[in-house]
Each structure stands twice: as structure tokens, then as C-alpha cells.
Amino acid sequence: MSESRFYHVTKSGKLEQFDRVAEVMARAKEGGFFWLHFLEPTAEDLRPLISPLELHPLSVEDALDDNQLPKIDDFPDNSFIIFNAFSYVDKKLSIQEIDFFLSNQFLISVDRIGPDGKPLLAGVEELVLREMNTDRLSPAYVMHTILDNIVDRKFDAIEALEDELTEAEDAVLERPAKFDPKSLQRIRRALVTLRKSLYHEREVFVKICRKDCPFIPDKAIFHYRDVYDHLNRFFELTETLRDVATSLMEIDLSLRSNEMSRASNRTNRSVRRLTFITTIFLPLSLLAGIGGMSEWSMMTGPENWRITYPLFLLAMAVIGAVSYFFLKWMVMRADKKSDSDDDE
């Protein structure tokens, strides 16, 4: 449900609240400027302002669509600015849009409901009133106060992601078998989203600091530059965290690959041992099959069985022993080579 609050800012820096736009506009003609603050406005709230305040219809459409990238559009009578507010709750990143219409006579701010069910700019009136003084009596300074508060709260979301990334780093290095790589992918996706938003917001402030916006006085540019410095620092921090997340994903993949290689080597050793046993008994099984046939007695003579069979058994033992020691030597050589490869 839409909620609107209309304020007249007097020459002495006081906020006078009115119930209707026409009342606050009439009051502003006596001096000062007015500030219209909307919460989740509808088309019926904003479109009637197009004609009296000379708002561009495209900017009003963008304000009603809360899925736009940060930007600044300068029109002859006002400027339209889209900005983002960040929140990170229950390991879920939320980016929501806040819009501003700025001129020399008024400021219109469009607020949204946050993931906690509260307005993103809750209590902003008290903040603006606290920062208000005779040197900051213009719509540009009110917008700066709001933007400065939004940017400062961005650090809470970035810091939460940084703490979660630190925990993931410890888990990757200390408990690689139990680590879930999906958490790293989620963190990296959130950081990419933050980087995209911060990049466009930084471009907005570059234009402002370059004095492209005619409705921000020169003396206010210094305040906006301070906000730009914060945005730039957050952008670089997000870039660093994204690189850390990418490195952790590569480390996790490498650790898992090494573990699979060790498991494969253990399987290969078991197979070699089974092959070793089979290879020893294959010739013995062949000899046992030959010796167990009646043709053996026919070839050696039935009367010589006391000599031929002991010799036959002795031959089997010799062949088995030779095969055993030869194959054991080969297995030991292969194991040593495998261990050296694992160490490397």
C-alpha cells in the first residue's frame, strides 16, 4: 500500500509536513523548497506530477519499474537518478532500487519496502533534519544526506559477505571433504551482482563530480566526492573478494582432484595385488591340470610315479616361488614410483 509524506523546508531549515502536494507546492512559493517522499508509489501517485513539476514521462516510468540499473538522466528542468540499496539477510543478497527527482525547487524520493518488511529509508526524516543547517538548504544537500546514508549501509552487506568468505576459506583448508562448494558459488554470484551495481553507481557519481548535473551546486560537489570515494573503495573491495572466491573455488577443485587421484591410486594398488596373485596361480593351475591327467602317467610310465610326481610337485614349487619373487619385485618397483608421484 502506497504511503506518501510531503515536506516544506523553510529558509531556517525546518520541516513542515503537509497532506497534499498542492498544499506543499503553494507553501514553497513563499520561500524554501519542498520534498516529496513516496513509499512504493503507484502510477496514480507519480503521473499527476508530470505536468506541474515538468517531470519527463520516461523517468516516471523508470521510477515505477524497480528493476533498473543505477543511472542519472538530466532533463531541462530536473534530473532523474536511480540508486541501489543493499541488504544481506539469511545468506541472501537483496538489491532494491531507490529513485530521486532533483531540481532547484524540489526533491522527490521514491522508497521501497526492504526484505525485513520495513522501508529502506526508515527514519530518513530525522537524519535529514539533523544534518540540516543554513549552509545545506537545498534539495541537492537533502539528496546527498540520503545517498550518504545508503552508501554507508552498503558496507554491512559487503562485510557480511567478507565474513562468510573467511569462514568458507577456513572450511576449504581445514575440512575439504565436508565442504560444500555451492556456498562459494553463491558468494561469488552475490559479489558479481554487487560489483555490477557499484560500477554503475560509481558512474553516476563521476558525472555528478564532473558537474554534469546542473541542479547540484558547486559547493555541494565536495560532499558528493566523499560519497564517491566510499563507493570506489567498496567497488575495489568487492573486486578483491571476488578474486578470493575464485581462488578458493580453484583450491577446492584442486584438493578434490588430488583426493580422487589418491583414491584411484589405492584402487590401482588393490587391482595390482589381485593381478599378482592371479598371475602366480595361473601357471600352477596349468601344471596341476596337466599333472592330474592320466596322460602324464602314460608319458612317464606308471611304474615311475614315485619319482615323477615328487619331481612334478617340486617343479611347481620352484615355478611358483620364482613367479612370486619376480612379480613382487615388479610390484614394489611400481609402488615406489607411485609414491614418488604422490609426493610431487
Q: What is the pLDDT of residues 33-89, one digit of tens each?
A: 999 999 999 899 999 999 999 999 999 999 998 888 999 999 999 999 999 998 888
Q: Contacts by 224-231 with C-beta closer than 8 Å and gap 24+?
A: 224/144, 224/147, 226/148, 227/144, 227/147, 227/148, 227/151, 228/202, 230/151, 230/152, 231/151, 231/198, 231/201, 231/202, 231/205
Give whole-number Cα distances, 183 to 106, 172, 197, in Å. 45, 11, 21
pLDDT of residue 342 exceeding 60: no
Give residue 316's pLDDT.
74
**Residues 64/41, Cβ–Cβ less than 8 Å:** yes
Better-scored residue on pLDDT, 303 or 29: 29
Rg of the chain, C-alpha, whole Å: 39
β-strand partners of 325: none
Cα 186 to Cα 168, 213, 226, 239: the distances in Å are 11, 37, 31, 16
Distance of CA 265 to the CA centre of its chain: 36
Q: Is the pLDDT of residue 107 over 90?
A: yes
What pTM does this model have? 0.74
Question: How far is the C-alpha of 138 from the C-alpha of 21, rounded, in Å?
Answer: 19
If phi > 0 it is left, if psi is from -120 to 50 it is alpha, else beta; for residue 314 that is alpha
Looking at the chain, the whole-number percentage of residues with pLDDT higher than 70 is 87
Tell me what pLDDT residue 1 has: 39
Beta-carbon contacts of residue 321 (< 8 Å; ≥ 6 apart): none
